[in-house]
Amino acid sequence: MARRMLNCPKCGALLKLQMELLVISQDQTTPAAPEAKPAEAELRALLMRIDTRNVDESERKFVEDTQKRFKQYGAKTLISDKQLAWLRKIAEKCAAGNGVHPHLS
């Protein structure tokens, strides 16, 4: 138990403060490994394959926002599994509908 003396900020009276450190539980299991981020090359390839002129509005906004973040953060860009799956779906849709950038076709 730690004891400490403090002055009251309002009246200046000397206060005795007692602190107890309680350990509620000590989980000895190892934490789960963090999920691997997609490789920078994969994310770059997905973003380059998508022609934002040939997708609907919500997909276009998502792709453009992701492109901006990737340009700013590069390999440190955080993207969830769900977002990555959506990007893959958009890229597949563009490839099937010939919505691929002209220089990549």
Q: DSSP character for 19?
A: E
15 located within any domain: no
24 located within any domain: no
53 located within any domain: yes
Number of domains, the chain: 1
65 located within any domain: yes
- Which residue range is the domain that position 57 belongs to? 40-104
How would you write the pLDDT of the chain (105 residues) with one tens digit per residue?
556 676 777 777 776 656 555 555 555 555 554 555 557 888 999 999 898 888 999 999 999 999 999 999 988 999 999 999 999 999 998 887 754 454 454
Q: What is the pLDDT of residue 59?
A: 94
Whether 48 contacts 101, CB under 8 Å: yes
R_g (Cα) of the chain, nearest Å: 26
87 located within any domain: yes
pTM for this structure? 0.56
58 located within any domain: yes
